[in-house]
Amino acid sequence: MTKIVILGAGSAVFAQQMVTDVLCIAGLDAGEFALVDIDPLRLELAHQLAELAVQKSGKPFRVTATTNRLEALPNTDFLISCIEVSGLENVQHDYQIPLKYGVDQCIGDTIGPGGLFKFLRTAPSWHQILQDIERICPRAVVMNYTNPMSALVLLATRATPLQVIGLCHSVQGTAQQIAGYLGVEAQKLRYQCAGINHLSWFTQLEVEGQDVYPDLMAKARVPEIHEQDPVRFEMLLQLGAFTTESSGHVSEYTPYFRKRKDLIERHTRAGYRGESGYYAHNWPLWRASHDRHARETIQQGLDALELERSHEFGSQVIEALTLGRPQVIHGNVKNTGLIENLPQGGCVEVACLLDANGIHPTHFGRLPEHLAALDRQHMAFHELAVEAVLQEDREAAVHALMLDPLTAAVCSLQEARSMFDELVEAQQAHLPAFLVRH
């Protein structure tokens, strides 16, 4: 019987989608969902939603819930991690303190001051989780959904021999967006895409054997279309390739868009298109809304549930490895020569073949050099962040912040250090002790 553990299941809407996706796998007719979260109230919402979904499916899946992961881990086949460590308490610190230094973030969960401190808060718990998995269920396939994706997967590859893959929806989601901009059916779009999570690059786009990159370039010059994705279309026009995250995310990942007020006004828009403090201002509201929606769904019962499979890759991994049905996804894995001009041993995002024998990352080759150079700066940031946690090296964490593209575009070295110190002071209750010591 297939056992699937979901860590961080208190994010009830996402956990319920993971449960639904698995229940929609034809031929996987029994199993167990073990839900884990340290928040008992939100865990109970997720538990009730999962029970409803199982009831709606008619499949004899068992659902358990616990606040102690050690109870859930024995005999695990697949583990899905969507943990969040003290994010709600610190999302305003992650945004407001850097803003004082001129570092204006939209999301702040992948790189930049927000991404670094999210990692520094999350990594110690993630490391402990990995050690528990290695001890209790070492054959489990571990799927990470938590950001900052690349740094957390890199830590896993450095700290354990477990099979860990990082999963995101940015590649397949962006492919659908590109198809929409081109006015073609998404299933007709063929593409090559590789790089790092949130900054992978579509190097080929074809429809029925024809290169459609010239068409996308033409669309980028249409004001009404450009306005829908202003930063990514600007990057396409200037760099020649479309990237895999929203304009808001990617505006933080390079030094070009957020270092001056005039650039912010020119290139960014509301919401995910680059709004300043978009996550910091809205995340508490979203969380309350998700909890309210979960309670309403539970109250309404089976009629409120629709069992529709999403485009998240997690259930595809489970289907391929359990039932032997080959699949192709994009995953975040160790670079073992897969992308030749990105650092070997780092974490890269490439196409992966899935079958009954496991997960098989595919060789991509070389990215165009200017695109690889942008990714390499991020990978240096990841290396230093992981070194900081595994070696308990405070200076490595400071140096990661100094290498962050947006911080470096705005701050002097001393200003970056002062910002780091101020962030540590504000978040010290949620950070490992080595960062607090001076």
Check if 430 is active-site: no
**Virtual torsion, Cα 417, 418, 420, 425, nearest 10 deg:** 140
CA–CA gap between residue 273 and residue 29 (Å, rounded): 41
The H or E element containing residue 63 is: strand 61-66
Vertex 66: Cα angle to 60 and 72 (nearest 5)? 70
CA–CA gap between residue 386 and residue 144 (Å, rounded): 16
Could you count the other beta carbons within 10 Å of the beta carbon of residue 302? Answer: 10
- Whether residue 381 contacts residue 111, with contact meaning beta carbons closer than 8 Å, is answered with yes
Peptide bond into 361 cis (omega under 30): no
- Whether residue 341 contacts residue 367, with contact meaning beta carbons closer than 8 Å, is answered with yes
Q: Which of 49, 152, 41, 309 is nearest to 33 (CA)?
A: 49
Cα 206 versus chain centre, distance: 26
Measured in residues, the chain has a length of: 438
CA–CA gap between residue 371 and residue 243 (Å, rounded): 10
Take residue 422 and report the two structure tokens written for it: 């101020």
Catalytic residue among 169, 226, 293, 430: 169
Vertex 343: Cα angle to 159 and 336 (nearest 5)? 65
Q: Report the amino acid identity of residue 421.
A: D
Token pair 């695990």 is found at: 76
In sequence order, the 6+-apart residues with CB closer than 8 A to the CB of 211 are 204, 205
CA–CA gap between residue 168 and residue 161 (Å, rounded): 22
Q: What are the residue numbers of the active site?
A: 169
